[in-house]
Structure 1
Amino acid sequence: MPHGSTEEVVAAFIAELRAVWAAASPTYAAVERHAEELRRRPAPHGRRIVPLPAATVNDLLTKPRRRLPRWEMTASLLTVLREILAERGEDPDRAGTLALWKARHEAALTAMDGLRGRGRGRGGPVGVASGAPDPEEQARERLAIEDAQRATLLKAAGSGKPQWWHPYRDVVPAGAAAYLSLEQSSHRLQIYEPGAIPDLLWTEEHARRAALWEDPGAPEELIARKVAFQLSRRRMLLRGEPARLWVLLDEAAVAPFGDRALWRAQTEHLLALAALPNVSLQLRRSEPDRALIGGPVRLLRFRETEFPDVICLRQDGNTLCPPESRVVQHYTALLKGQFFTAETPETSLQILSDLLKWRH
């Protein structure tokens, strides 16, 4: 969203920081204490934590400002908030990654430079010397590099090289090869499917009925292979270094339906999965907003720093993984908004448990 003044740019950036603060819900004293503890640890990847006095952080978040906080201060505060979320058993990426926040910080600086340069002639933004790198051009170059990295990653994942799913290639959905390869190698998988329970969370019986509904006349042997294929995807959650799964479920998707035995088994299965330390479920109370997110969205992240995030969309029976960074950023922001407004994992599990008791 464009802003009319540098003060508005700063205010918008601080508002995003306050949203992360609200998600972590710490005290100022706790943040100051955590910062000091992190300062005594070996700096990860050379990142230095600066002191975060309670009064300074309070001023940062509550008082009007004309300048952006220094990146070192912003990064240190976000590192502490991520640490607090992790200690509470929540996904630290709810606060956003430092890479994402670095991009936001740079974008805000670029916007402020542009606003200061309005009406000052054709010499470019004030404070940028002739011949100095153009921040906007640098940002475009970074996005172009990321686009190329993502395109290469997707091409390699969809190549003919043998993958884990090849024994099931006769039942693998058309166009899903690249996604299936990346799914198993991902470090973190974030899922939202409007009004539905994602297939990665299905029980065996749920998977069987879905296969029968998709192909009513299929022989039992083929149905059994489709079920085995679906269940084999769960190994990513149980391996030595399991993937982190974060799922947003619409309340309508978990509401009791006609076949009570199937619903109960599926609900109990969701609770069992959520008991795993690497799985988190959150419920949305409202109806799915199909105008905002029109279909299933999956965000994949990888341990390898050279691999950019990948967004995969399920539309009209096809799995699409667009390589463009701006598309990835768009859907990442949409997912972030949905997760921030959903019930907490603890409340969500209590809702599911209460449903089982009520329908006992």
Structure 2
Amino acid sequence: MDLISTYANGVSELTKFSRSADKAPLIVDVIVNPHAGFFKRRKTLERQVLELEHKLTDLRSRYPGRRVEINTIHFTERPGHAHQIADAILAKEARERRGIEHLVVGCGGDGTANEICRAFVMADDALLDRVKLLRLPLGTGNDVADARTFDEAYDLILGDQRTVRTGAVAVTVADGRVHWAFNIASVGFDAYIADLTNRFKRLIPGEAYKALVNIGTLFYGQVVHPQPMDIHLFNGRLETEVKGMVPSMVIVGASGHRTYGGHMPVLPGDENVCIVDGMSIMRKISQKKLFYLGTHGELPEVSFHSADRVDIDYRNRIPLQLDGEIVWLEANDFPLSLRVVRAKIKVLRR
């Protein structure tokens, strides 16, 4: 935990050099998931701590007069805790109405980022005007992160902190419960792979779990028993209907130009929906490379669409993927509605 604390404190201190001395202080909250994939790779962590310390030493010597910011570091202790911490941070900000810009830094993977964003997406618009978010790439996939590399992330902190607003996908099941994705939500084969990956990764160190995942995919049909699915896509007043398909997967992004599974460009263009018709296991394996290249659109089984809502009716058990986290849906969870929520969360961007 000492190295993790050192890294978290380094990130927190780095924010002190993000403002010119004549500006009001920036309130900073750093939310750290000590179980994130990055923190388990000790040599990588040691190297990053050393590089961050070198950067801080240089900044301290060049900018000795910087005023101290209001910084707090929070460590998560259990699943769901990042959401509770973020919710408390936003509630305090709303209650005290300090009127000072506020930066929340998420130190974790896509799951931690999802928890934090779930608190943000429910916050008042006026509150989110003065609170911004930076999600560091400290997990395994890091498709939700606002930077691909550590240097990019540090530059975002030290730069002028420009922001863009990012949206979400709200997934509503039949009884009204809502699940959230801030990158991609999907059902089917890819969600099954993500479930295998999550389970085996917890049990097997290093990269050895990938072999078991590859073997596990061969049993998708026996485990899931895919059935015909009715899909309705809505884009404004336009509606597209796909009835009776037995798809491999249905993928819905908060926008187009999205990656998942460790930067696989599954939504390579402006369209935010990808539907993959049923494919045999051997065909999936033989064509897998095209998905990693983002050229899977050339396959006859693949279609892309633009939609602000996708309704799915289905009558069997099937996995739902939400930014890498899995929920198994039962037949009584359908019909399912996946709705693109307008962009409201301010994130740092170059």
- Range into which the TM-score falls when normalised by the shorter chain: under 0.3
Higher relative contact order (CA 8 A, sep 6+): 2
TM-score (norm. length: structure 2): 0.25
Q: Which has the larger radius of gyration?
A: 1
Select the structure that is richer in strand. Answer: 2
Q: TM-score, normalised by structure 1?
A: 0.24
